[in-house]
């Protein structure tokens, strides 16, 4: 079972990917995690990616796919995997499809966690983070016991720059331009499934599980 998770920043696709990985006992494959792991382990692919990252450049699609394929070739991926954060655009999706087809393989499901922009802006601007210990909260859904103070270490909670409404709007715009076309891409392949991401986290999960069967 090979799954691609789609959805705007803040739609909750990462959380759903983790839950699916746990339920089906398949790896949650995040490109960010793979890059960090390869760089930490000093692999040839990791060092190649690091050259671009050190210059503040995006890692080329071909190299990203090579690192991704290296990861999904591992034994723990034989039953499948959940891809989170890749592909981000049509060129990446094409490179991934071509590489998988050469291996006689393909993506089985593309799950789009659909959440309106205004919900995402409200959801993300309600996040609060503790810069001291890394704990995260939400003023509506997971509030700290004492307003503005971390339960774990007692330090002040902050609204991170990337969660501020104006930043979120910019990220959503980039998503619409680059990533949203993937919805049409996977729709034409007949493997796209839309899920209402405004529901409770567990209801979203149940809807996805119903699709996967």
Say which of 13, 71, 123, 128 is annotated catalytic: 13
Which single residue is written with the structure tokens 């990252």?
53
Which single residue is written with the structure tokens 């996040």?
127
Say which of 2, 71, 123, 127 is annotated catalytic: 127
**Residue 87 · residue 176 · CB < 8 Å:** no
Say which of 36, 51, 74, 160 is annotated catalytic: 160
Which single residue is written with the structure tokens 């981000």?
88
Say which of 50, 66, 164, 171 is annotated catalytic: 171
- Does the active-site annotation cover 171? yes
Q: Closest by alpha carbon to 132, among 148, 152, 162, 161? A: 152
- CA dihedral over 113, 109, 204, 14, signed as positive or negative: negative
- Does the active-site annotation cover 66? no
Strands 136-138 and 127-130: antiparallel
- Does the active-site annotation cover 71? no
Catalytic residue positions?
13, 88, 127, 160, 171
């Amino acid at each position: 079972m090979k799954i691609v998770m789609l959805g705007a920043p803040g739609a909750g696709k990462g959380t759903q990917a983790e839950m699916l990985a746990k339920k089906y006992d398949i790896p949650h494959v995040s490109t960010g995690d793979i890059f960090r792991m390869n760089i930490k382990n000093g692999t040839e692919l990791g060092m190649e990616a690091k050259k671009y990252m050190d210059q503040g450049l995006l890692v080329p699609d071909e190299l990203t796919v090579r690192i991704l394929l290296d990861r999904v070739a591992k034994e723990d991926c034989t039953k499948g995997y959940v891809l989170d954060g890749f592909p981000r655009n049509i060129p990446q999706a094409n490179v991934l499809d071509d590489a998988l087809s050469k291996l006689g393989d393909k993506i089985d499901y593309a799950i789009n966690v659909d959440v309106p922009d205004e919900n995402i802006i409200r959801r993300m601007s309600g996040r609060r983070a503790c810069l001291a210990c890394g704990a995260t909260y939400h003023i509506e859904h997971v509030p700290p016991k004492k307003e503005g103070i971390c339960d774990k270490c007692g330090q002040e909670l902050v609204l991170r720059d990337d969660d501020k409404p104006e930043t979120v709007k910019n990220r959503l715009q980039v998503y619409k331009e680059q990533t949203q076309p993937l919805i049409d891409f996977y729709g034409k392949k007949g493997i796209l499934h839309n899920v209402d991401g405004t529901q409770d986290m567990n209801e979203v999960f149940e809807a996805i599980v119903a699709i996967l069967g």
